[in-house]
């Protein structure tokens, strides 16, 4: 359920699809919250991001897949989770900023949807070449 917000509060959605992203996301959350306590954080991550104050929509380990065979096996679940985030980007929980951490196959598609919805996107750790 969405939190009650004051006029000054801003919602930041963070998506980290891997454990390394969870670690970097937790550092970002702590630093941002120290300077901007009015920010509300939610998104996809792990226990580190949760401990840093992020409301986890679903855990990042649900997105983590390795290899082509595993991707095909997990494709239905990945589609469901992508659609869940798409609904958030267009709905009442719409963030004021989307922060993406690595995980390019998933996050670049999410970035495109966010831009189409007029939501600014910050790629905190960009995909590696």
| Residues across the chain | 129
pLDDT digit string, tens, across residues 12-44? 999 998 889 999 999 999 999 999 999 999 999
Q: Which residue segment(s) compose the domain that 60 sits in? A: 10-125
CA angle 103, 105, 106 (to 5 degrees): 75
Total domains in the fold of the chain: 1
Query: Do 43 and 29 meet the contact criterion of CB atoms below 8 Å apart?
Result: no
Strand residue runs (E) in the chain:
10-16, 39-45, 55-59, 97-101, 121-125
Percent of the chain residues topping a pLDDT of 70: 84
In-domain check, residue 83: yes
Q: How many other CB atoms are found less than 10 A from the CB of residue 105?
A: 12
Residue 113 CA: distances (Å) to CA of 4, 8, 34: 25, 25, 29
In-domain check, residue 64: yes
SS3 (DSSP) at 4: coil
Dihedral of the alpha carbons of 27, 33, 39, 45, in degrees to the nearest 10? 20
Query: If residue 129 lies in a helix (H) or strand (E), which one and from where to where?
Result: none
Maximum average pLDDT range among 6-15, 30-39, 73-82, 101-110: 30-39
In-domain check, residue 5: no
Q: Is the pTM of this model over 0.75?
A: yes
Q: What is the CATH number of the domain that holds 55?
A: 3.40.50.2000
In-domain check, residue 19: yes
In-domain check, residue 2: no
In-domain check, residue 1: no
Reply yes or no on whether the pLDDT at 109 is more than 90. Answer: yes
């Amino acid at each position: 359920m969405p939190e009650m917000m004051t006029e000054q509060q801003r919602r930041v959605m963070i998506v980290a699809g891997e454990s390394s992203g969870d670690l970097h996301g937790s550092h970002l959350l702590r630093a941002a919250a120290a300077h901007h306590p009015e920010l509300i954080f939610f998104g996809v991550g792990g226990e580190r991001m949760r401990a840093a104050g992020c409301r986890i929509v679903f855990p990042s380990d649900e997105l983590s897949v390795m290899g082509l065979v595993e991707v095909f096996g997990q494709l239905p679940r990945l589609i469901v989770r992508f659609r869940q985030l798409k609904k958030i980007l267009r709905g009442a929980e719409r963030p004021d900023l989307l922060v993406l951490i690595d995980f390019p196959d998933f996050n670049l598609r999410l970035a495109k949807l966010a831009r189409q919805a007029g939501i600014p996107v910050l790629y905190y750790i960009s995909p590696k070449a």
